[in-house]
Amino acid sequence: MKDGPDISRVAALVGDPARSNMLLALMDGRALTAGELASLSGVTKQTASSHLARLLDGGLVAREVQGRHHYYRLGGADVALALETLLCVSERRNGSRTRTGPRDPDLRRARICYDHLAGELGVLVYDRMISGGLIVDEGSKLTVTPAGWAALDRIDIRPDEIPASRRPLCRTCLDWSMRRHHLAGRLGGQILKTILLKGWVRRVPDSRIIRFSSSGERALMAWLPPQPSPGRNSSGGRVPGRAG
């Protein structure tokens, strides 16, 4: 028998349709009751409780008890990343598609992925931060540059105010819609939290969708570095393989 983690156990937990629906319902970072998850998954509350016990045992969800109520949320950012990646993989089962991700244009435009911004605007934020030199990809990790901290300070995000945890400060997450990266990690979560507090965006109830107001989207674009000129990279050099 091969040594190492047993991925078959996790795959079996995710592979059940009712359990996968529950996990996807928790992708927006909310904590939901067994009854709410039962309704969203189309099963009885008793069946949902049985599924949740297995997910809890497998570490895919966490439970919080308040009085008589039990609330469930995703087991962590790594679980959200795995689910987002599986969404991308599952769409290839019938061959390639011209249009990837959700059909709902609002869900494609901007949505919550665990605790950070995803969708078209999430990818745009990551791209502009990379091209503008606010964060750099050092191969094994992403690092915030001094220029990046200066830019983040302009929207009231400071390094000593980002909650400490074992999660990386910033990392990439493969976007279901765009098949490109958006920003995750503690910084990704802090950016979403900040723009929510500033009122640039609002959450759509019972959905992963978040909607930017016109002024909020303008404020986001004004904060981000400008889009680089076509055919040039962030350092000003011409991108290899493109015509002059």
Across the range 103-131, mean pLDDT stands at: 92
pLDDT at 88: 76
Is there a single domain that holds both residue 111 and residue 199? yes
Is there a single domain that holds both residue 106 and residue 41? no
Going from the C-alpha of 116 to that of each of 46, 47, 58, 146, 233, the distances in angstroms are: 32, 31, 24, 22, 26
Inform me whether the pLDDT recorded for 239 exceeds 50.
no
pLDDT at 2: 58
DSSP structural state of residue 211 = E
Across the range 68-75, mean pLDDT stands at: 86
CA distance 213 to 202: 8
Per-residue pLDDT band at 96 (split at 50, 70, 90): very low
Largest interatomic CA distance in the chain: 67
Give the domain range for residue 113: 79-90+101-223
Q: How many residues does the chain have?
A: 244
Is there a single domain that holds both residue 143 and residue 117? yes
Q: Return the closest-CA partner of residue 13 out of 46, 54, 45, 41.
A: 54
- pTM of the entire structure? 0.66
